[in-house]
């Protein structure tokens, strides 16, 4: 079905013959050719979603009924787990164990929001205590309407689930535009929705390029809510376009997240979490702890261990046993990360290890795990998101200096602190200006907990009950209870 869009519960013939190729980043080979959707296709998808919301059964079902469909989707994903993970490896390049973990989390996300959909039935109305006698009031939650979602290429199916599952649980309908770099598991999600017999128009998926399909989706007057995960510049443009119609917007954007490592921590554990915080998914993680601040007294020892262990990481195609670092997602990202390293070196940074193509991997977008040191605090490499397996490491002399350096950023998505002193961990965690804080770890993500950032890292929160609230409106319903006339005008 890769030569069609999924619109109105059917595989929909594209309006034009324009296509784009999907590339395996490990081999640089074309693995699929996908229709490049445009405004006409987006119009059809929004129309189908609008029809499904305005007159269809979906928003009028009970939460329990919607939850049944979400559980079906989760069950099908689990049944197809290995195949979907392999598809993610081919499309994105990540190692198979990471991809499998992503798909397991995808199924878990649909199950979690099935449970929250069921809970909506008992929590749909909240009584309000009023100061005026003779009236009663309640606040009710209702779906916001038709949602448009644009997802990134770093966690393709999981990021789709983070938006689709809560939107559907809330009773919204959706038009989803996956990244043109990694559209295959989103199209597989359409197959899964069809198998689950999701009502027509509830979920619509259009593949295409940003200017041709993404922009018409953002600007469409019949979209009520927009959800976007991606870069700050694109998020800023989406916010500006959405302002025209005062659309509700949630944005999960970039980061340059700090990790502060104090002198009393276990160096071996710290090195493990530093590596997990930056080399997982090839560093293509918005929350990656890419700025590591290390107490001066342990800086030399920790840096030496980090360099030694980074050199040991097995690099290769994601479908090879033992591989822990796959290729970057495409040629553009590979060149961008290489250019970032070169700029850092030109500005005075030192490469402690990495920075090159691994020996023996002549094809594919492979890059060694890279550790940079000796950069200035105001240098580009220290302040800007790189989105690759590149970590910047600097020493600090005091807790107050570490907090200042950690917060000296236009981003505020995540932060981490490592120390044996849990009181200090709590103190530093509270001092971070970030939406996600990890203590003695980095990157664990749970569907139950809120996800999102401060400052230029975004607006709103995904996951947990907060993710569901993204797709709900609150309505006040007030009733006059007295049998007596109001009597203001008519006495």
As annotated, the active-site residues are 252, 286
Cα–Cα distance measured from residue 14 to residue 436, given in angstroms and rounded to the nearest whole number: 41
C-alpha of 32 from chain center: 24
Backbone angles phi, psi at 88, to 5 degrees: -65, -40
Contact 302, 267 (CB under 8 A): yes
Three-state SS at 161: helix
Contact 285, 154 (CB under 8 A): yes
Closest CA to 115 of 478, 474, 469, 464: 464
The DSSP bridge pattern shows strands 225-229 and 370-373 to be: unpaired
Q: Residues 6 or more apart from 130 whose CB is under 8 A from it?
A: 136, 137, 478
What is the helix (H) or strand (E) element at residue 29, kind and residue range?
strand 29-35
Contact 54, 44 (CB under 8 A): no
What is the crossing angle of helices 96-123 and 81-92, to 10°?
120
Closest CA to 392 of 297, 283, 472: 283
Residues in the chain: 491
What residues form DSSP beta bridges with 380? none
Cα–Cα distance measured from residue 398 to residue 432, given in angstroms and rounded to the nearest whole number: 15
Three-state SS at 346: helix
Cα–Cα distance measured from residue 206 to residue 85, given in angstroms and rounded to the nearest whole number: 21
Three-state SS at 428: helix
Cα–Cα distance measured from residue 337 to residue 436, given in angstroms and rounded to the nearest whole number: 25
Backbone angles phi, psi at 19, to 5 degrees: -140, 170
Contact 172, 59 (CB under 8 A): yes
User: Could you please report the per-residue DSSP string of 86-130?
Assistant: HHHHHHH---HHHHHHHHHHHHHHHHHHHHHHHHHHHHSEEEE--
Backbone angles phi, psi at 325, to 5 degrees: -140, 110
Three-state SS at 419: coil
What's the distance, Cα to Cα, between the start and end of the chain in Å? 70
What residues form DSSP beta bridges with 477? 138
């Amino acid at each position: 079905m890769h030569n069609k869009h999924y619109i109105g519960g059917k595989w929909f013939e594209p309006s034009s013959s324009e296509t784009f190729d999907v590339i395996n980043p490990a081999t640089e080979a074309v693995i699929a050719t996908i229709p490049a959707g445009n405004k006409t296709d987006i119009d059809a998808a929004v129309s189908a979603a609008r029809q499904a919301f305005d007159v269809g059964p979906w928003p009028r079902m009970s939460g329990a009924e919607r939850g049944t469909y979400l559980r079906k989707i989760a069950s099908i994903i689990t049944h197809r787990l290995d195949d979907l993970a392999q598809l993610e490896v081919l499309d994105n390049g990540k190692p198979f164990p990471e991809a499998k973990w992503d798909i397991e989390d995808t199924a878990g996300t649909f199950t979690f929001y099935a449970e929250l959909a069921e809970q909506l039935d008992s929590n749909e109305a909240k009584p309000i205590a009023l100061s005026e006698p003779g009236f009663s009031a309640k606040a009710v939650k209702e779906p916001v309407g038709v949602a448009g979602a644009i997802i990134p290429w770093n966690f393709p199916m999981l990021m789709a689930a983070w938006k689709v599952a809560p939107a559907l649980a809330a009773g919204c309908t959706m038009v989803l535009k996956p990244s043109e770099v990694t559209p295959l598991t989103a199209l597989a999600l359409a197959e899964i929705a069809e198998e689950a017999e999701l009502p027509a128009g509830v979920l619509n998926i259009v593949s295409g390029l940003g200017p041709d399909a993404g922009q018409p989706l953002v600007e469409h007057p019949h979209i009520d809510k927009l959800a976007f995960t991606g870069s700050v510049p694109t998020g800023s443009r989406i916010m500006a376009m959405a302002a025209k119609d005062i659309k509700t917007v949630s944005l999960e954007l970039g980061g340059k997240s700090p990790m502060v490592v104090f002198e009393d921590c276990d160096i071996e554990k710290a090195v493990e979490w530093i590596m997990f915080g930056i080399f997982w998914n090839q560093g293509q993680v918005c929350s990656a702890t890419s700025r590591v601040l290390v107490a001066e007294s342990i800086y030399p020892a920790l840096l030496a261990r980090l360099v030694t262990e980074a050199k040991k990481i097995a690099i290769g195609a994601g479908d090879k046993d033992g591989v822990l670092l796959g290729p970057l997602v495409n040629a553009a990202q590979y060149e961008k990360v290489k250019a970032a390293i070169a700029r850092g070196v030109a500005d005075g940074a030192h490469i402690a290890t990495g920075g090159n193509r691994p020996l023996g991997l002549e094809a594919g977008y492979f890059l060694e795990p890279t550790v940079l040191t000796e950069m200035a605090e105001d240098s580009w490499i220290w302040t800007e998101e790189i989105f690759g397996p590149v970590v910047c490491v600097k020493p600090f002399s005091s807790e107050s200096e570490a907090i200042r350096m950690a917060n000296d950023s236009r981003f505020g998505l995540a932060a981490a602190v490592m120390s044996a002193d849990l009181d200090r961990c709590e103190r530093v965690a509270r001092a971070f200006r970030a939406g996600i804080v990890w203590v003695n770890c980095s990157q664990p993500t749970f569907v139950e907990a809120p996800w999102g950032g401060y400052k230029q890292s975004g607006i709103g929160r995904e996951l947990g009950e907060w993710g569901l609230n993204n797709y709900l409106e609150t309505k006040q319903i007030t009733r006059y209870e007295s049998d007596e006339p109001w009597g203001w005008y008519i006495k």
